Amino acid sequence: MNRGGSSAIAGDMKQSRLSAWWQRNMPTRESIEEIRWLRPVAHRVLAPELWRFTRRSVPRGVALGLLVGIFLLIPGLQIAGAAMLALPFRANVPIAAAMTFLSNPATTPFILYGSVYTGNWMLGRNADVSGFMALVEHHAGVGEWMSWLFSQAAPALLIGLFVISVICAAAGYGLSILIWRGWVARKWRKRVLLRNKVSSET
């Protein structure tokens, strides 16, 4: 098999894995509508223009989803937060919601420890992440979260989360633009090849 054939197969495999991940995590209109936090603005979140895949709405959705998914690590609020932010920024809602799943039980410990390290370095503190993890695991109420916000560990973690989420959002925005342009270019190349093939056969 030649190198071009191997590259094509590898590309198809990556695309199929990406498609499988997307099918598992992409929210539906019904699932978005059922989120309690979104019910007052559900009619706006479900507007058709926010569900179209365009060269502007997709990168915005990626950036917002990463920003909210990393910064807002409280389960149940990430999708709602991403969908609500998609309104003023005219971002793609399903993309924004799906990107929040990149912060999950497997990646959250790395995000938290990286954020605490970053926050401690920036503030010159020595905070730990154990208090935050305990609140998440025990499904803490609003009062407990407010108490934690005034603790010594909160500033380091919040600043670290903010820095990392902004960096990831910017990187995701730029990468999604490159991927979109590559996809469009590939699509046009296929059209040109098909047109040339048809012309040569006639």
In this structure, is residue 73 part of a structural domain? yes
In this structure, is residue 103 part of a structural domain? yes
For every residue of 91-114, DSSP letters joined together read --HHHHHHHGGGSSTTTHHHHHHH
Q: What is the span of the domain harbouring residue 131?
A: 27-201
In this structure, is residue 51 part of a structural domain? yes
In this structure, is residue 2 part of a structural domain? no
If you count DSSP H runs as helices and E runs as strands, how many of each does the chain have, helices first? 10, 0
- pLDDT recorded at residue 95: 92
- pLDDT recorded at residue 32: 77
Q: 18-52: per-residue pLDDT in tens?
A: 566 666 667 777 777 777 777 777 778 888 888 89
In 3D space, the residue among 63, 15, 93, 72 whose CA is nearest the CA of residue 177 turns out to be: 63
User: Helix axis angle, 142-149 relative to 130-137, nearest 10°?
Assistant: 170
What is the distance between the alpha carbons of residues 42 and 45, in angstroms, rounded to a whole number? 5
- Rg, C-alpha atoms of the chain: 21
SS3 content of the chain, % helix, strand, coil (to 5): 80, 0, 20
In this structure, is residue 182 part of a structural domain? yes
- pLDDT recorded at residue 18: 57
- pLDDT recorded at residue 8: 46
Report the length, in residues, of the chain.
202
In this structure, is residue 194 part of a structural domain? yes
Domain count of the fold of the chain: 1
Helix (H, G, I), strand (E, B) or coil at 38: helix
Q: 175-192: per-residue pLDDT in tens?
A: 999 998 888 888 888 887
- pLDDT recorded at residue 25: 63
In this structure, is residue 17 part of a structural domain? no
- pLDDT recorded at residue 109: 81
Name every residue whose Cβ is closer than 8 Å to that of residue 15 and which is 6 or more positions away in sequence. Answer: none
Q: How many Å separate Cα 99 from the centre of its chain?
A: 2
CB 129 within 8 A of CB 113: yes
Helix (H, G, I), strand (E, B) or coil at 115: helix
In this structure, is residue 20 part of a structural domain? no
* Parts of the chain with a pLDDT under 70: 1-25, 201-202
